[in-house]
Amino acid sequence: MLVKEFTLAPVSPGGMWGIVAVVLLLVALAVLFAAIVLSPRRIAFLVSDDGIRIRGALYGRAIPGESLDVGRARQIDLTHERSLQPVLRTNGIGLSGYSEGWFKLRNGEKALLFVTDKSKVVYIPTDLGYSLMLSVSDPGQFLSALGEV
């Protein structure tokens, strides 16, 4: 009995572009995922006479001091403050131990979150239609700096 072996024809030059496109897409997704995972390390909250500037974040922005309700700003613990717990992410990042972006709170309020440690959150209402919730290393010092604005 005669057996003949045949090999697969090489990928045509036009077909290589599809493979290259898939590889580039996978690399881009890996870079995006790494950027999201590492982003909390770069975030800084700058308090000045102008207000609060959130730097190094995908949802970063400057919030004018006159829009902040500093009198109602306070430290909260999200494990105990049930009404202020985020219940719905409307546009943001929600990883284990990190929440950034727009969320709906249990009390129906809209909030912009930058939360890593639920026990060290500063809650700041604004007159812009949302509140800020920021995890900071020293909430008392942050609130003191905010009070000086």
DSSP string over 50-93: TEEEEESSTT--EEEGGGB-GGG-EEE-TTT-GGGSEEEEEEEE
Work out the average pLDDT over 18-31: 87
d(CA 44, CA 37) in angstroms, rounded, equals 16
Work out the average pLDDT over 75-104: 92
Q: What is the pLDDT of residue 86?
A: 96
- Coil, strand, or helix at residue 25? helix
Q: What is the pLDDT of residue 12?
A: 72
- Coil, strand, or helix at residue 95? strand
97's CB contacts (< 8 A; 6+ apart) are: 116
Q: What is the pLDDT of residue 6?
A: 81
d(CA 39, CA 10) in angstroms, rounded, equals 42
Strand partners, 101: 92, 113
Give the residue, 70 or 33, on which the prediction is more confident.
70
Q: What is the pLDDT of residue 128?
A: 97
Strand-strand pairing, 62-64 and 74-76: unpaired
Per-residue confidence at 20, pLDDT binned at 50, 70, 90? confident
- Coil, strand, or helix at residue 46? strand
Q: What is the pLDDT of residue 148?
A: 79
Residues 103/92, Cβ–Cβ less than 8 Å: yes
Q: What is the pLDDT of residue 38?
A: 64
Domain boundaries, the chain: 43-147
